[in-house]
Amino acid sequence: MFNKLFGKKKITEEWVTPLSGKLIAIEEVPDPTFSKKLMGDGVAIVPSEGKVVSPVDGEIIQLFPTKHAIGIKSENGIEILIHIGLETVSLNGEPFETYIKTNDKVKAGQLLVSFNLEQINVEAASIITPIVITNEDKIDNLSKQDSREVSAGKTAIVSYEVKK
């Protein structure tokens, strides 16, 4: 009853960029799974170095055996997928080193994975790294920054309101 009278307080969540490089629109990713937002909306980064940090405080909910993708659940329940490069699953984890495991609690800016950028650039379809919200139904008012250079763990790139 009080919520109807006074309204619920909206929770706004923000991501810091998980990689340094050039932020681009998700629609520019040369893979329709991401560019058509089949997995969810988000952004992508053309990385300039081989390090991935957590975009939010939360928990690792999935670490693919090939280490090319990480699922994180924010403290507010928003699920984020970071997919390092395109068609990198075929590299069988070789260019990746992980610093976390499933169920680990993480803080925004914490190092999650390092990778050999040159190897991915040569052996995979692309180094472009999509970062998407996989449970979009839990957010409102998604706001994404425009294309520009970003610094891992420092630059805010996405914000939204969490539905409660």
Residue 9 lies in a domain: no
On whether residue 8 sits in a domain, the answer given is no
- Here the CATH number for the domain that contains residue 124 is 2.70.70.10
Which one from 19, 55, 83, 113 is the annotated catalytic residue?
83
pLDDT tens for the chain, 164 residues long, are: 445 555 567 899 999 999 999 999 999 999 999 999 999 999 999 999 999 999 999 999 999 999 999 999 999 999 999 999 999 999 999 999 999 999 999 999 999 999 999 999 999 999 999 999 999 999 999 999 999 999 999 999 999 999 98
Instruction: State residue 7's pLDDT score.
Output: 57
Q: Is residue 5 part of a domain?
A: no
In terms of Cα–Cα distance, which of 154, 137, 156 is closest to 145? 156
Nearest 5°: CA angle at 96, between 101 and 40? Answer: 70
pLDDT score recorded for residue 114: 98
Matching residue, tokens 């629609």: 27
Q: How far is CA 49 from CA 21, 68, 100, 113, 126, in A?
A: 7, 15, 19, 11, 14
Burial track 138-164 (b if 16+ CB lie within 10 A, e otherwise): bbeeeebbeeeebebbeeebbebbbee
Q: So what's the pLDDT on residue 1?
A: 44
Query: What domain count does the chain have?
Result: 1
Classify residue 7: in a domain, yes or no.
Answer: no
pLDDT, position 8: 62
Range of the domain at 150: 18-162
Q: Can you tell me which residue has the tokens 């997928």?
A: 81
In this prediction the pTM is 0.93
Within a 13 Å sphere around the CA of 156, how many CA atoms are in the beta-carbon half? 6
Tell me how far apart the alpha carbons of residues 147 and 150 are, in angstroms, rounded to a whole number. 9
Q: Is residue 72 in some structural domain? A: yes
Q: What is the CA radius of gyration of the chain?
A: 16
Q: Give the number of C-alpha atoms closer than 13 A to the C-alpha of residue 61, restricted to the C-beta side.
A: 14
- For 36, the 3-state DSSP assignment is coil
**Residue 9: per-residue pLDDT:** 73
Active site residue 83: yes
What values do phi and psi take at 53, rounded to 5? -115, 165
